[in-house]
């Protein structure tokens, strides 16, 4: 059984999807052993509702070192599921190849500092992009620069707004995240 630690900052619908797909067998041979939040958020409530060990480590300069203390040594995969803090380079290097993130755009486009949440969707509408999508990628010290594991695109239409894009991206994320997790776990 592989042990997954999930990091969240927000509503945690991707976290919920991970929990559901572990329960229904789409993700095999794995369990979420710990959920860490960097702020009060609904993701933490989901952890409690699911009776999964959880901890709130306030965001800030000590976050990565505090995080290192709570992550069990036998962790196979750390999943960033709507997680907004930047992890320190040493932390990323310690867990090299074992940390993944989901990003709401087709990296390498629309990644990097400031490119999170609605900022991404606003920029895509502003630039009149013809497509958007989601990317699951490895986490390395460079923000959103790690190798892509899985990516899926969809067409952006004239009627799309940042809000409709956010909804469409979420649906794509729910589709590719379990597949990418299986892939990284070697399932």
Using the minimum distance from each CB to ligand GRF, give the nearer residue, 11 or 182: 11
Candidates 82, 111, 133, 178: give the one binding ligand GRF (CB under 6 A).
82
CB of 73 to ligand GRF, least distance (A): 27
Residue 13 annotated in ligand binding: yes
Question: Which of 130, 118, 126 is CA-nearest to residue 157?
Answer: 130
Strands (E) located in the chain = 2-8, 30-37, 54-56, 77-80, 99-103, 131-138, 148-155
Q: 137 catalytic, yes or no?
A: no
Are the CB atoms for 36 and 54 separated by under 8 Å?
A: yes
**Which of helix, strand or coil describes residue 104?**
coil
Of the listed 103, 121, 137, 170, which one is catalytic?
103
Contact flags string 91-110 toward ligand GRF, x per CB under 6 A: -----------xxx------
- Contact status: 153 vs ligand GRF (CB under 6 A): no
As to burial, measured by CB atoms within 10 angstroms (0-12 exposed, 13-18 middle, 19+ buried), residue 51 is exposed
Contact flags string 1-20 toward ligand GRF, x per CB under 6 A: ---------xxxxx------
CB of 43 to ligand GRF, least distance (A): 6
Take residue 79 and report the two structure tokens written for it.
Answer: 């999943």
- The residue with tokens 């239409």 is 157
- Contact status: 169 vs ligand GRF (CB under 6 A): yes
């Amino acid at each position: 059984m592989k042990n997954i630690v999930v990091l969240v900052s927000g509503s945690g619908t991707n976290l919920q999807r991970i929990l559901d797909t572990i329960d229904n067998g789409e993700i095999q041979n794995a369990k979420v052993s710990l959920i860490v939040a960097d702020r009060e958020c609904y993701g933490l409530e989901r952890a409690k509702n699911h009776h999964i060990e959880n901890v709130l480590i306030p965001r800030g300069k000590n976050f990565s070192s505090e995080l290192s203390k709570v992550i069990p040594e036998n962790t196979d995969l750390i999943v960033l599921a709507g997680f907004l803090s930047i992890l320190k380079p040493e932390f990323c290097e310690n867990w090299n190849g074992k940390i993944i993130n989901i990003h709401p755009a087709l990296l390498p486009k629309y990644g990097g500092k400031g490119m999170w949440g609605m900022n991404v969707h606003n920029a895509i509408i502003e630039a009149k992009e013809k497509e958007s999508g989601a990317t699951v990628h490895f986490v390395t010290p460079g923000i959103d620069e790690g190798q892509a594991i899985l990516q899926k695109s969809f067409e952006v239409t004239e009627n799309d707004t940042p809000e409709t894009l956010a909804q469409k991206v979420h649906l794509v994320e729910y589709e590719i995240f379990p597949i990418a997790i299986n892939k990284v776990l070697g399932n």
